[in-house]
A and B are shown apart, each in its own frame.
Chain A
Amino acid sequence: MERLVVDNLTIATEGRTIVENVTLGVSSGEILAVLGETGSGKSLIASAIMGLIPRGVSVSGRIVVNGRSLDAADRDGLRSLWSKDLFLLPQEPLNALAPLLRADAQVAEQIRGRRSRAEACAALSAMQLDPRHHRKRPFELSGGMAQRVMAAIASVTRAGIILADEPTKGLDADRRHVVAGVFDTLRASGRAILLITHDIALVRALADQVAFLDERRIVESGPTAGVLASPATDYARRYVASDPSSWPARAYKRSHTRKTVEAERLRIGIDDAVLADELTFHCHAGHITALLGRSGIGKTTLGRTLLGLTRPLGGIVRRPPAEGRSALQKLHQDPTRVFSPWQAIGRSIEDMRHLAGGESALRQMPVLMQRFGLRDDMLERRPHQISGGEAQRLALARILALKPKMLIADEPTSRLDPPVQEQVIRHLREIADIDELAVLLITHDLDLANAIADRRMLLEAEDAAPARLRDVTRSPQAPTTQ
């Protein structure tokens, strides 16, 4: 029997329909993934089920929870089901936990009876949280641990239906692994799970059913394996194709181009804490070098050291000579944050005229914007008013106009939806091939690295020792980044 049914849900503001006639059903012990891009309205489906749509936004349709049919506009009725029938796992678990309560106390709150503390610890252990973390407060927990605490809370409530809104947004592969484990455990306990995400890798790994949401409507749905193997609609096909794991691996070729940046026995770290040591490598013009490794191992610090933003603790970095500005530029993880938030983007672009060689860079901009498919009217907007994909292409155009020799791209696509991610990656490949820039791609995504990088380096460490660099170019099945 289906525990949760969403029947003809429509959400609209004045003059705009955000979600239209969405019908879904989830059974016990099943995960239904709603897959869609940012702005497709997918998060609002979860909000509607929880009765969290702000008043003033009109909601219609029915929501059937464990056989009880409620009007979707009955916010109070839906809210009264919280933690009895419905549970929402929020996007950022650290922010959802009570800041001063210890992990086990947070879980115990939901359990009646004298043995609540012991049961809480059992629930935390069931979510693979090590007992030494049970007495910690949220600020002592990592994001992954907080996610497990939230899931433990969900597992001790009577709620049979769990909604999860983008549980992997902005996460590294290792945390994504944790999330998958958590949902697996919740599913095994017989709960019905509605997973709202843009992350196709997570869906592939986890979901029983999938529904693609495109521009407010469900365009395709069915069992995950079948839909992902042979998508019937254009949208789903494009979405599935944008997953790097389906791309062919890039063949190995010897490099003949000049070396752009060389590092010799480089030791990196923050302040005096050494993160990695004995790093010797070089990057060639026209090559994409992928830098892999688990989160926190020092990938970003290595990038910052190459850029000259962080002082190396030892060793040598050889860079091309700087002419008024660094010949190395950086593509950031969150592209909407690289332009001054206080002024229109066009203003930021025009301000390049204050730079050495800025006038000629400005003359390049229209050509570059056209090349990256950017419209002029974007320049009138503020950074938060454009999408991540547009911002990343604008950032790329601005950097390229200043003719750098090398680009350090730090997780440039991890915050983008897969179809947009594919586009940015294609542009990166183009920059290496046509503009002959050296690109260092910092990523946790081995599939992505295999598909587009000419060289792959893995930063790995044993226990507390400083990390070392290993060339894994010719071993595509290299140990994963977990």
Chain B
Amino acid sequence: MTQPMLASSPGRARRWPPGFVSVFGFLPLAIMLLVALFGPWLLTANPNRQDLAAAYAPPSAAYVLGADDLGRSIAARLVAGARISLGIAVVGVLASLATGLLLGFLSAFHGGGVRQVVMRLSDVIIACPSLLFVILVSGLLGGGIGAILFGLWMSQWPGFARLTAAIAAKELAADHVEASRLLGFRPGYIFRAHVMPAIMPYLTSLGALAVGANVLTISSVGFLGLGLRPPDAEWGSMIAGTMTYFRTSPHMVLAPAGAILICTLSATVIGEYYSARHQGIEEIA
């Protein structure tokens, strides 16, 4: 310890080769999101139409990714599932992010009672794993999109709230906020110009990671049969329904599993990318 340390060791942040984040992060997730948004227009096949003659069909010209045990087009079901899995995941994150940002900022700004209530509530919720929460809520409310969404939102906003509260408290105590307050700037301005820019990179990073985690949670719930009711297509339930045929027709399982993998992987790459960029921000601040 008596040896002096280099004042700063640049390049400590993880460095990926140029283009890596675009190719493995933004591009796949963007394609998935576009498919989810415009899927119904892209696709002519009905995801629930059964063609028993085509059951177990391997990928072919008629069925791009093959057909499942009931002869439904796997490609069509994947696209339909993307709307549900990715849609719920993204909406869930946006809702928790907005809630967390609001409650976190309020508890940092007011401190005292508000902070105590928000933080203790967060403690209780954070103590419970997200998946358990969603299963619990789905069980109580009887499944469906609304129940999953509610469960994800409830289990996730505390994370965003705590992160926001911690960073906002630090920023609000900084000289630049004190100076702005003395000059007469209003809380709204201080939030926008002094606090938001400090929080956003962290929230983006956490948000991206949360999208990946949500896709997994939604699929897990679907796999356990607690999510959407059949015949609605959902990635997790697609795996659950076709798992028994894995040896003979692996494409039926691999297609939805691949979709889940691509979503979580790209979301994680994006999250890691933003979290690596924080270190640069920290040095400026």
Given contacts A341-B284, A356-B184, are A330 and B179 in contact (CB under 8 A)?
yes
> Interface size class for chain B?
20 to 34
A19 to B22, CA, bound (A): 41
Write the A323-345 contact mask toward B (1 if CB under 8 angstroms, else 0). Answer: 01110111010100111111100
State whether the Cβ of B5 lies closer than 8 Å to any Cβ in chain A.
yes
**Bound Cα distance A157, B1 (Å):** 13
Given known contacts A97-B1, A106-B1, is B183 in contact with A332 (CB within 8 Å)?
A: no
- Choose the segment among B13-21, B191-199, B270-278 that binds chain A (4+ C-beta atoms closer than 8 Å): B191-199
Neighbouring A residues of B182 by C-beta, 8 Å: 307, 309, 325-326, 328-330
Question: Is A352 touching B284 in the complex (CB atoms < 8 A)?
Answer: no
Per-position 1/0 for A105-119, Cβ under 8 A of B: 010011000000000
- Shortest CB-to-CB span from A159 to chain B, Å, is 9
> Closest residue of chain A to B193, judged by CB?
A340
**Is B6 located at the chain interface by the 8 A CB criterion?**
yes
Chain A 25-58 interface residues, beta-carbon cutoff 8 Å to B = 47, 50, 52, 54
What chain B residues lie within 8 Å of A348 (beta carbons)? Answer: 193
Q: Is B3 an interface residue (CB 8 A)?
A: yes
Is there contact, CB below 8 Å, between A82 and B3? yes
Q: Which of B7, B10, B183, B189 contacts A402 (CB 8 A)?
A: B183
Report B148-190 CB contacts with A as 1/0, cut-off 8 Å: 0000000000000000000000000011101111111110010
- A88 near B: Cβ within 8 Å? yes
A330: which B residues are within 8 A, CB to CB?
178-179, 182
**Contact between B176 and A337, CB atoms less than 8 A apart:** yes
Closest to A383 in B: B176
Residues A342 and B184 in contact, CB atoms below 8 Å apart: no
Is A83 in the interface zone, CB < 8 Å from B? yes
Residues A325 and B184 in contact in the complex (CB < 8 Å), given A88-B4, A98-B1, A309-B178: yes
Residues of chain B contacted by A250 (CB below 8 angstroms): none
Q: Write the nearest CB–CB distance from A341 to chain B, whole angstroms.
A: 5
Residue in B1, B176, B181, B184 whose beta carbon sits within 8 Å of that of A324 in the complex = B184
For B190-211 the 0/1 string (1 means CB < 8 A from A) is: 0001100110000000000000
Which of chain A's residues 76-90 have a Cβ closer than 8 Å to chain B?
A: 82-83, 87-88, 90
Q: With A90-B4, A98-B1 in contact, is A325–B194 under 8 Å at CB? A: no
Q: Say whether, besides A343-B193, A382-B284, A337 and B175 are in contact (CB < 8 Å).
A: yes
Size of the chain A interface, CB-CB below 8 angstroms: 48
With contact pairs A332-B175, A338-B175, A342-B193 given, residues A325 and B183 touching in the complex (Cβ less than 8 Å): yes
Q: Is the CB of A355 within 8 A of B184?
A: yes
Q: How far is the CA of A330 from the CA of B174 in the complex (A)?
A: 14
| Cβ contact within 8 Å between A109 and B183 | no
Distance from B105 Cβ to chain A, minimum over Cβ atoms (Å): 16
Tell me whether B140 is interfacial, beta carbon within 8 Å. no
**A351–B1 contact, CB under 8 A?**
no
User: What's the Cα separation between A375 and B39 when bound, in Å?
Assistant: 56
Interface contact B4-A52, CB-CB below 8 Å: yes
* Beta-carbon contact of B197 and A343 below 8 Å: yes
Q: Decide if B60 is an interface residue (CB 8 Å cutoff).
A: no
B285 interfacial contact with A, CB 8 Å: yes
Measured CB to CB, the closest approach of chain A to B154, in angstroms, equals 32
CB nearest to B174 among chain A residues: A337
Query: B2 an interface residue at 8 Å Cβ cutoff?
Result: yes
With A338-B175, A384-B284 known to touch, is A355 a contact of B3 (CB < 8 Å)? Answer: no
Asked if A386 is at the interface (CB within 8 A of a chain B CB), the reply is no
Closest chain B residue to A101, Cβ basis: B1
**Interface presence of A96 (CB below 8 A):** yes
Q: Give the distance in Å from the alpha carbon of A334 to the alpha carbon of B175 in the complex.
A: 8
Q: Is A354 an interface residue (CB 8 A)?
A: yes
Tell whether A398 is near chain B: CB-to-CB under 8 Å: yes
Per the 8 Å Cβ criterion, residues 44-96 of B in contact with A are none
Q: Is the CB of A329 within 8 A of B284?
A: no
The reply on A395 being an interface residue by CB < 8 A is: yes
Inter-subunit contact B5/A96 (CB<8 Å):
yes
- Do residues A54 and B6 form an inter-chain contact, with CB atoms below 8 A? yes
A9 at the interface (CB under 8 A from B): no
Interface centre among B2, B4, B184 (most CB of A within 10 A): B2
Would you call A153 an interface residue if the criterion is a C-beta within 8 Å of the partner chain's C-beta atoms? Answer: yes
Residues of A within 8 A of B2 (CB): 83, 87, 106, 109-110, 153, 157
**List of B residues within 8 angstroms of A339 by Cβ:** 176, 179
Shortest Cβ distance from residue A127 to the other chain B in the assembled complex, whole angstroms: 15
Question: Chain B residues with Cβ under 8 A from A354's Cβ?
Answer: 185-186, 189
A96 with B189: CB separation less than 8 A: no
Chain B residues with CB under 8 A of A326: 182, 184
Closest chain-B Cβ to A106's Cβ sits at a distance in Å of: 7
Contacts of A337 in B (CB 8 A): 174-176
Task: For B197, list chain A residues within 8 Å (CB).
Answer: 340, 342-343
A interface footprint on B243-254 (CB within 8 Å = 1, 0 otherwise)? 000000000000
CB contacts (< 8 Å) of A47 on chain B: these are: 7
A88 CA to B2 CA in the complex, in Å?
8
Of B10, B193, B284, which is within 8 A of A351 by CB? Answer: B193
Q: Which residues from A are CB-within-8-Å of B6?
A: 52, 54
Q: Which residue of the partner chain, among A88, A101, A340, contacts B180 with CB atoms under 8 Å?
A: A340
Tell me if A340 and B194 are in contact (CB < 8 A): yes
Contact with B along A382-420 (1 / 0, CB 8 A): 111000000000010011001000000000000000000
Q: Which residue of B lies closest to A99 (CB)?
A: B1
Q: Type the 1/0 row for A350-382, where 1 means its CB is closer than 8 Å to any CB of B.
A: 011011100000000000000000000000001
Measured between C-beta atoms, what is the minimum distance from A144 to chain B in Å? 19
The interface residues of chain A lying within 8 Å CB-to-CB of B285 are 341
Residues of A within 8 A of B184 (CB): 324-326, 355-356, 402
Q: How many angstroms from the CA of A151 to the CA of B4 in the assembled complex?
A: 13
Interface residue from B179, B189, B193, B284 paired with A395 (Cβ < 8 Å)? B179
CB contacts (< 8 Å) of A341 on chain B: these are 176, 284-285
A416 to chain B, nearest CB (A): 15
Cα separation A343 to B181 with both chains bound (whole Å): 17
Closest B residue, CB atoms, query A399? B183
CA distance A355 to B185 in the complex (A): 6
20 A-B residue pairs with CB within 8 Å: A47-B7, A54-B6, A82-B3, A83-B3, A97-B1, A98-B1, A307-B182, A309-B181, A326-B182, A339-B179, A340-B180, A340-B194, A342-B193, A342-B198, A348-B193, A351-B185, A352-B183, A355-B183, A355-B184, A355-B185
| Nearest 10 CB-CB pairings of A with B | A325-B184, A342-B197, A88-B4, A338-B179, A98-B1, A337-B175, A332-B175, A340-B194, A355-B184, A340-B193
Mark B residues whose CB is within 8 Å of A: 1-7, 10, 174-176, 178-186, 189, 193-194, 197-198, 284-285
List 17 additional A-B contacts (Cβ < 8 Å) besides A83-B3, A343-B193.
A47-B7, A52-B4, A54-B10, A88-B4, A98-B1, A101-B1, A325-B184, A338-B175, A338-B176, A339-B179, A340-B176, A342-B194, A352-B183, A354-B185, A383-B176, A384-B284, A395-B179
